[in-house]
Every structure is written in structure tokens, then in C-alpha cells.
Structure 1
Amino acid sequence: MESSVRRVASNTCRRCLRLSAANATRPSIARPFSKAASSHPLRKASPSSSVNSKLPLPPTQSKAAPSRSIFSFGQQVKEPEDNSDALGPAASYESQSRPPILRPDDLFHSFTNSPIPEIRRRAAFIRQHAHCPHPDHQPTRVPNSANASPDTSKSGAQAATHVDFECPDCGIPVYCNENHWADNYEAHLQVCDTLRQINEDDHDLRSGRFFPEFEYAGPQLEEAAVNMTNWDTFLYTREFEAINDDRNMRQVTRLLTYPVTIGSILHELSPYSIRKGGRLTPEGLKSLSALRYTLHPPRTGSGSEIKGLRPEAPPVRIFILGARAESSLPRNVWVQLAHLFPRGKFHLIFVGPESMANRDDEFPLPPRTASNPFGAIVEDRVWPTMKISTIVDYYHTLHKTGQFYPYDPYFDCFVMFHPGLGHPASSHEWTETVPLLLETKAPIIVTGYTQYDMDRDIEWVRKTCGGEFDILMEPGENTFRSLRWDLNDLDPQDVTCGNWGVWAFRGKRYEATTKQAE
């Protein structure tokens, strides 16, 4: 009997085996699998202001990533062991058979009284650091274009006070007391619905349910074109499981926005073009055409025999500078970038002093030796066409040593996710790096939390580099931004979303001309 069961299990795919085992142990609980693809009437809300610090990614599990500590809400928290297996598609049969902590119709809870210990700790962190935004208090942050400048004549003389009162509609500490909340309720209504959505999404992520949206699609057939018009067409043409729920859509785009944002710019079917409204400049077409030529090589008729051998191009190096939360993404998320280019090769290089902040237990830092002077961690078995390296150091230190020299616009690209180039707290870290990036003449892709965040970064680059750069892609909203909103724990009124906008630039190139003899 056991041999027959093993024989049947060996001939059954992993997904069907998991479903059959789950149905046998829990027949009364219905899985929230989607039945058919449909359009997603997502409500589009305008972001408020730029976040002061980069928010960490939500703790998720994947097939390729073991349990790891998550740097969350200002402190390093270990994922709960009794619930960690049920957070992703790699859950075991036993954990999937457990009833979820929260039902889909019971996701709204105040942060302070949440049944999730991690969210209660987050509420305590907000109460300890966030200040009341009522006009009676002295301002605690510099206003920006997203929030109108306060009238100094009406600014109160009361000292800044930490928040303590939770709004009953959104369940998040937003004001110091109920009187200030009621007095400023009209201003709070602008973000109250978004804060409630954040509240429910955070509870859903830790509810213990099974996440079918984290079952990512496999390799893409070269004959099947990918439609990059929007998230719906992308997921459909990539043959993802149909997602009919807006909340599930927000959860899956929160992670996929990082690799898909890069792929949507480098792909030959990119939604960004040089045509009217395409945002791509003539200089951008030159730079991206070089990378697209490498990532979409022509068929050479090569074979397995000696006479069928053909030279192959080296892998495209994508330097992700200032890497933080994106460096700890599950590796099957980054493999989605390789699936978009079936005949391309990638070498992802995460560079930054915080690039290993979430993975200390998983990958202890190796010692710096003569053969590995910067203590790089190399993952060369992520995918046959993808390798990932992580270096805990500043990029300008690597550039000066010639570690990755020479640079080629056909094979190199730089990406910076929410770098904060113009932010007063982080601009000094990029003063020495950006001029060195311009010397490589390779394209530099930059994302931002809001329009104001991008405009501030561009203005800083203009002042720092003296105009010695070309805009490759005009700044604007990212087609593949995260649909899930994020909360700034230091200021609950500040809500943003990952990779909201994107733009690109590179060092200015001068055409050499010959002088005719007289």
C-alpha cells in the first residue's frame, strides 16, 4: 500500500499533491482560489508626502526562501514560529490544515488591540515616535509640495506631543487625544480610508490564510508575448493564477514591483516608448536599445554538437545600489525577471551597507580575504540564467578599486529604489557616488515614493552634477508600482506606495567630430 502511494505521489505535481492533502485534512475550509480572470476596478488614491525613511517589506515566505528575521517597524522581530509556515506558498501540509487566525471578514482591528503581537508592537512604536499633527502643536517636520505649508500665524504654541488616540475608523494612533482628532477630523478624512486599507492588509498578511497569489508563474515560452500594458495584462499573459480580489492583488504587487519595474523598462515590449506620451527621450532610446539588443539576442542556430557552438554574450550586470529591503526578497520573486528574458542572462549585484540587514541569520558575512576583498556573498544557483551577489559596502568604494571595471553600456545598468538623493538625511551618502555613476555612461534607473520625492532627487542631481547628465526617461508614475499603500510609522499621516514613480538618466555623452583641414 505504501509503495503504491509513493508511486502515485511521485507522478503527481507538487501543487496537486498539496491541494489533495489539504482537502483530505480540512474538507470544510474552502480555499480562496480565483475562478476566472477579470478586470480589477482598483481605486486610485493620490499619495500624500514623501516618506522620511524606507519602509521594510512585509514578511512573506516563498518556495526558495527559508524563514528569516524581518526588520520591521523600527526593530528586528523574529517571525512567529506557529504562523510562519502559513504565510506563503511553501507552507507545510500541517500548517495549511490549521484554521487561520483571522477570517477574511474579520481583518479590521485596532493596532493596540490586535490579535497579532507584531502589530501591537508596531502600535507601541508609533505611540513612542509619531507626533500629533494638530495645528495647535508646533510643527515637527518640514512641509513639502504634497502638503501645503502651514500658516505660521495660526500655528499653535503647544509643544509637540506624541500620538495616543486611535481613530475608530482606521484603528491607527493618529492624534494625541480625542478632542484634537475631532477638531481636525476633516483633514484626517483625506487619509482615513487609506489607513484603514493598510490596517486590513497588514492583518491579512499575518492572518494565517493560504496565499494562492504567491504561486508565481514559471518560465515564459519565447513564442508567447508578454503584454505590459498594466498589471492585469501582465499577470494574465504570464499565466499567473487568476486574482479576482483587490486585496490579493495588492499583496502580490507589493513584491513583484521590484523585478517587474526593471523588466518593464528593459524589455523590447516596454510600455515606455519614444512616441508621444511614452516618456522615453531620444537619448534613452539609444541607451535602452543597447541593453535590449543584449537581452534579446537573435537566434544563432546553435546546437549541442561541435559545429553548432556559437559565442554567447556575457550576462547583463544590474547594480542595485543602496539595497535594503529588496535584497531580502524571496529569490523566486527576482527569478521573475529572468523569465521575462528567456535568452538573456543576469547578474544582480546588491550593493549597500544595509544590503544584509534582514539576512544575518541566513547568510553570515564571510571574512574579507585576498580572494574576496569585500566579503561578497554569491548565490550562483538561483536560476540557470541568473546569479545574485551581495556586497555590504558603499558603491564608490568599489568603483575606486576597479572591482567591476570595465563598464559597458551594452551589459551594465544601475538601479536605485527610493534612494532619497535629495533627502536632507541621506543626500550626503550619494554625494561621492553619483558623479562616479555618470562616468560609466550606463543607464541609471531611479524610483521614488511620490512626485515630490522624484522632483527633489532630480533637482539634487542637477545641482551636484552641474548638468552633466542626460534624462533617459521623463519622471512620472510607474506602470508597475505597488498597489498596496505603506504607512510611515514616524508619521501616520504620511502614506506612500513602493516604486510609485520612475525616471532614468546617465552621464552626458559628447559626439566627437573631426575638423576639416583649411
Structure 2
Amino acid sequence: MGRNKKRSSKKNNSANLMENGNSKETKSNNTTGKLELEIMKNTNQQLSISILDITSRLNLPLKPTGIDLSVDSDDDETLEFHIRPRFVYMCNLCLICMNICNCGVQCDNCQMVSYCSEQHREENKIQHQVLCRALSNICDGMKGFSLAKSLPPDLYRTFRIKTIGAIEKMLGRQLDLWEREIILYPRICRNCKKIDKELILCQDCEVDFFCQDHHQDHSKWCKDFQVFRKILFMQHKHGYVDPDVPVVFYNEPHVLPENFDFLMYSMFANSPSYRRIDCYTYASLSYVSTAPLTTLFAIQKTIYDWKSREELKIHIIGAEFQFECASLRVWEKLFLHFLPKLRKLSLEFTGPELYLPCAPPELLSKIKMCRKCKLLKRKIDVKFNSQMLYHKIMDENNPDLICLYNPGLYRETGFDGTDTWPCTIKKFCNAKVPVVVTSYTEFEIPRDIERIKSICSVEVLLEPQRNPFAAVKPDRNFVSDDVAPLMYKNYCISIVKGL
């Protein structure tokens, strides 16, 4: 797909030359011909970079999304969910406005929160004082983190978790997620645990700190931190954005291209709207698309007759509503529209942390369908096994595919502090169907597959590798932050099958 796209780009470049009246000279002059080839080569290289690199969208302003005209205005009653972005704390972003803190204004007592100005520090003083007192008493603010220098990564993570527990006990309440992030991600060098005055602030991303000995480690992540900072700022300023997944119908089963970027490029037909998508909207677009696209990618890799299937049944284990379930219509756009022979797609979501909104079950499972799919009587059946473990569910028939998105199978402290994965692993291996496992980082995926192998005999259908349809929206990584400070939904993928 990508190679075909590049050939068409060359054709377009040649057409432009002919429109300018240069085609005869090009044919008759070898020097000019070589120059034309070099121009086309450079153009293709630039095109690939602009498609594959989200940082090229950093300076684009937020644009309103279009209206999906494929849906009837008098459609049956359905529910659409817009998950409101929560406030995210970062040690060098102002606690009030999320701007960069260049003036070194911090809380005088705990020294763990920053402000862009004295005015914003004063504005936040009363609201911050209760938490500030707890931070100062429990861990002596940032001074307490000087003890972390001698701790190995796992114990440093334990130290932060126990600090959160002690603060919550003192306050008599659970900390908000952003309050926890003050302790989870303090101003500290990730490599050697040096603190505050010994640290250097990166002048490019303006959010990550490191000591003079570990600049090289930061440089590997600097662009990712730039994207992360920009997304946080736009999220704080504009709130939720509803990414507009294009409506494209394929008459033949559509084989996915090399990656998410090339797919969007082709679906938007390289239109001006595609070239104007800012990094926040583009990251959100990949975020809502990664689950169905990763599933479709796995189907095309492992189910030999996927092109002719009229029905597909998929189980998603360890599901979370705000990730896999909040944008269910994307499954129609990226499954039914891509597989014209498919008449019925069955999705079953299961997980102990699958908490459903307060709404009638029949509305939660109903997906708004386009006119064409309704006319052809195609449908998507959705079932939720809320707050349930997969191995405790009785199924009459096995699915065609089982998906575990970012499960962290290798960790033995699972839901509610207990390790329930062995029973679940046995069940999905006994189904003897392809099982998709993804992870947030390269560190986790081989460990997840080894955990499966330690419990059941499996065939590895797809070795652990980067997922071409991972989300490009970064988030901070606590579980293995000594290896990778940022993580991405479905970053790596592997596929196994029980023997």
C-alpha cells in the first residue's frame, strides 16, 4: 500500500511538471531528467517524514472537526460518550494554567508544585495548603526524595506508592489522580534520582529534568515529551476533542497498509483537512482507532478466510469503558466499512475494572450506524460483562479472536492485589483461537508472552514487535519508568494460540 502511494506521488509530480510546460525538455535532457528524479525522491522522503512524524503537527492550531453526513438525523436513540479529560500534573507546568514555569516559582513549603508567576502561586495558596501540609509532614516535601538515590527501581516505585498511602491516611481521603502524580512523577533525574538544584531543564521540551550525566537518555525521549506537553496544554485549553474518523466504504476487503499514518493519509485522500490536523486531534484519532485497527490487523494476520467472513466474534479481556467502549461507532467505520462481506460483528467486553455508566443496558450496547450499513441490514452486537473475571464466564461458543489490550500479564499483583491471570490464561489458551496481546512498552511484551508460556503450551503466531496501529498519544509510565518514561496504548503486539 505504501509503495503504491509513493508511486502515485511520483506520477503526480510528473503531472505537475507537464502542466508547467516542461515535459519535452525533461524527455530530451538527461541532466534535467536526473534533476527531476532527485526532486521526486526528496519530495517522497519529505512526504514520508511528514506522515510518520507527529511532531510536524506541533504548531498547528486546533481545528473544528467535520460533521458525519453518513448518519441519519432521525436515527434511533443511541448514547455517545465524550470522556472529559482530567487535569494532569507535571512538575514544570503551572498548577493553574498549565503554562511552562520559567521563573522558578514553587510552593515555599513542600517545593513539589510549580507556578508560572507569583500571582498564580497566591491564587492557589489556600487550595493547596492542606495537601502541602501532608506532603511536608509525610515526606518532608522534595527533601524526602533525596533518600531515593540509593533505591533500585522497584523499591523506588514502592516508596512512592507507600508515600501516597501514608498521605491518604493522614488526609482521611483518597488523593485525586493529579494529586497522586505529584508523588509519582516528582522533579527528579530518572536515572540517578538526583533532585531539584542539581538538575537541568531541557530547553526543547521544557518539561523534563535530568542531571548533567544523563542528557543522552533524555534526548531519546525529547520529541515525545514535546508532543506530550503540547497535548496537555491543548487539552487543558480546549477540553475534549471528538476526532473525525473518515467514512470510507471499500467494495473489496481492504488490506491494511504499513501503519496508522498511511491509513489515515489514504482515508483522508491527502486532503487539506488531513494536512491541517493538529497533534492533539491526531493523537486522539489514533487513540480511539487503535483498538479496532489492532484487532483488524490481527485478524488479517491469523484468520486465513477473513476476506469472505460474514460473521466475526471477538472477545476483549480486561476492558475499560473509557478506552475500548466509549467510541464504539469507530468499530463500524473500521470494520464493517473495511470488510464488505461482513454482516455481523459481535463484541464482548469483560473486565473487573469495566465500570458502566448509569444508563439503560440496551442503550449502552447500541451503536449509531450509517445509512448504508442499515440498508444492508448489517449489525454490531455488543455485550458487557461488567466487573467480572473472564475465566468465571460460561461461553457456549468460542470466539474467532481474543484480545488483551495492555494487560500486564507478567505482573503478579493484579486486580485487587491478587493474581487472577493464571486461570484466565488457561481459559483463553484452551479456546485454541488466536489471542492478541499488546503492551504499553517494549519492556513488557516479551514478559507477557513468557508468562503465558509458563502456564500453557502455545504457538506464537506473531513474535513480539512494534504495533503499526498503536496510539501515538503519549502518557507517562509508572510501572517501568526506569526503562521508558512515556508509554503508548498498544505500543507492542504479539499473537499466540493455545496448543
Kindly report which structure 2 residues correspond to 1:285-324, keeping only aligned pairs within 5 A, or say none: 288-290=303-305, 292=306, 296-297=308-309, 313=310, 315-324=311-320
Contact 1:219 1:342 in 2 (8 A): no
Contact 1:230 1:480 in 2 (8 A): yes
* Structure 1 counterpart of 2:225: 195
TM-aligned CA deviation for residue 350 of structure 1: 0.6
For 1:112 and 1:166, locate their aligned partners in 2 and report how far apart those are by CA, in whole Å.
Answer: 10
Relative to 1, partners in 2 of residues 1:202 and 1:319: Cα closer, same or farther, differing over 3 Å? same
Which structure's residues are more often helix, by fraction? 2
TM-aligned CA deviation for residue 476 of structure 1: 0.6
Match of 1:184 among 177, 190, 211: 211
The letter for the 2-side match of 1:220 is: F
The letter for the 2-side match of 1:352 is: G
* Structure 2 counterpart of 1:305: none
Relative to 1, partners in 2 of residues 1:346 and 1:67: Cα closer, same or farther, differing over 3 Å? closer
Contact 2:439 2:445 in 1 (8 A): yes
TM value normalised by structure 1: 0.55
**Pairwise CA RMSD:** 4.6
Relative to 1, partners in 2 of residues 1:179 and 1:475: Cα closer, same or farther, differing over 3 Å? same
Contact 2:445 2:464 in 1 (8 A): yes
TM-aligned CA deviation for residue 351 of structure 1: 0.4
TM-aligned CA deviation for residue 39 of structure 1: 3.9
* Structure 2 counterpart of 1:472: 461
Contact 1:109 1:199 in 2 (8 A): no
Match of 2:257 among 220, 228, 238: 228
Kindly report which structure 2 residues correspond to 1:95-494, keeping only aligned pairs within 5 A, or say none: 112-113=114-115, 132=145, 136-139=149-152, 141=154, 162=183, 166=187, 177-182=195-200, 184-187=211-214, 189-190=218-219, 191-208=221-238, 214-223=243-252, 225=254, 227-239=256-268, 241-244=273-276, 247=279, 248-267=281-300, 284=302, 288-290=303-305, 292=306, 296-297=308-309, 313=310, 315-324=311-320, 325-335=322-332, 336-344=334-342, 345-356=344-355, 359-361=356-358, 363=359, 379-383=365-369, 384-392=378-386, 393-399=388-394, 404-407=395-398, 412-426=400-414, 428-465=419-456, 468-488=457-477, 494=485
* Structure 2 counterpart of 1:371: none
TM-aligned CA deviation for residue 132 of structure 1: 4.8
Contact 2:422 2:455 in 1 (8 A): yes
For 1:143 and 1:473, locate their aligned partners in 2 and report how far apart those are by CA, in whole Å.
Answer: 34
TM-aligned CA deviation for residue 177 of structure 1: 4.2
Contact 2:441 2:491 in 1 (8 A): yes
Kindly report which structure 2 residues correspond to 1:57-96, keeping only aligned pairs within 5 A, or say none: 66=80
TM-aligned CA deviation for residue 414 of structure 1: 0.4
How many residues end up aligned between the 2 structures? Answer: 344
SS in 2 for 1:447: strand
Relative to 1, partners in 2 of residues 1:317 and 1:164: Cα closer, same or farther, differing over 3 Å? closer
SS in 2 for 1:346: strand
For 2:101 and 2:66, locate their aligned partners in 1 and report how far apart those are by CA, in whole Å.
Answer: 24
TM-aligned CA deviation for residue 461 of structure 1: 1.1
User: In terms of mean alpha carbon deviation, does 346-355 or 133-142 score higher?
Assistant: 133-142
TM-aligned CA deviation for residue 354 of structure 1: 1.3
Contact 2:254 2:338 in 1 (8 A): no
TM-aligned CA deviation for residue 470 of structure 1: 1.1
TM-aligned CA deviation for residue 195 of structure 1: 2.9
Q: More relative contact order in 1 or in 2 (CA 8 Å, sep 6+)? A: 1
For 2:393 and 2:411, locate their aligned partners in 1 and report how far apart those are by CA, in whole Å.
Answer: 24
For 1:61 and 1:70, locate their aligned partners in 2 and report how far apart those are by CA, in whole Å.
Answer: 20
SS in 1 for 2:295: helix
TM-aligned CA deviation for residue 266 of structure 1: 1.7
Contact 2:435 2:497 in 1 (8 A): yes
Q: CA offsets per residue over residues 420-462 of structure 1, 9 Å max, x none? A: 1111322812111111112211111111122220111111111
The letter for the 1-side match of 2:381 is: K
For 2:444 and 2:230, locate their aligned partners in 1 and report how far apart those are by CA, in whole Å.
Answer: 27
Q: CA offsets per residue over residues 222-253 of structure 1, 9 Å max, x none? A: 15855512223211332374145561433321
Contact 1:377 1:391 in 2 (8 A): no
For 1:434 and 1:62, locate their aligned partners in 2 and report how far apart those are by CA, in whole Å.
Answer: 43
* Structure 2 counterpart of 1:91: none
Contact 1:431 1:464 in 2 (8 A): yes
For 1:187 and 1:320, locate their aligned partners in 2 and report how far apart those are by CA, in whole Å.
Answer: 40
Contact 1:377 1:390 in 2 (8 A): no
Relative to 1, partners in 2 of residues 1:224 and 1:483: Cα closer, same or farther, differing over 3 Å? same
Identity %: 18
TM-aligned CA deviation for residue 481 of structure 1: 1.3
* Structure 2 counterpart of 1:152: none
Contact 2:351 2:390 in 1 (8 A): yes
Relative to 1, partners in 2 of residues 1:490 and 1:264: Cα closer, same or farther, differing over 3 Å? closer
Relative to 1, partners in 2 of residues 1:258 and 1:185: Cα closer, same or farther, differing over 3 Å? farther
Structure 1 gaps, min length 5 = 1-36, 46-59, 76-100, 145-160, 273-283, 298-312, 367-375, 509-518
Contact 2:403 2:437 in 1 (8 A): yes
For 1:139 and 1:44, locate their aligned partners in 2 and report how far apart those are by CA, in whole Å.
Answer: 34
For 1:395 and 1:142, locate their aligned partners in 2 and report how far apart those are by CA, in whole Å.
Answer: 31
For 2:278 and 2:85, locate their aligned partners in 1 and report how far apart those are by CA, in whole Å.
Answer: 26
TM value normalised by structure 2: 0.57
Relative to 1, partners in 2 of residues 1:451 and 1:108: Cα closer, same or farther, differing over 3 Å? same
* Structure 2 counterpart of 1:57: none
Structure 2 gaps, min length 5 = 1-45, 56-64, 69-77, 90-95, 103-112, 158-181, 201-209, 370-377
TM-aligned CA deviation for residue 194 of structure 1: 3.0
Contact 1:108 1:203 in 2 (8 A): no
Contact 1:164 1:176 in 2 (8 A): no
Q: CA offsets per residue over residues 150-190 of structure 1, 9 Å max, x none? A: xxxxxxxxxxx9578658xx9x9x97842342572442634
For 1:507 and 1:319, locate their aligned partners in 2 and report how far apart those are by CA, in whole Å.
Answer: 16
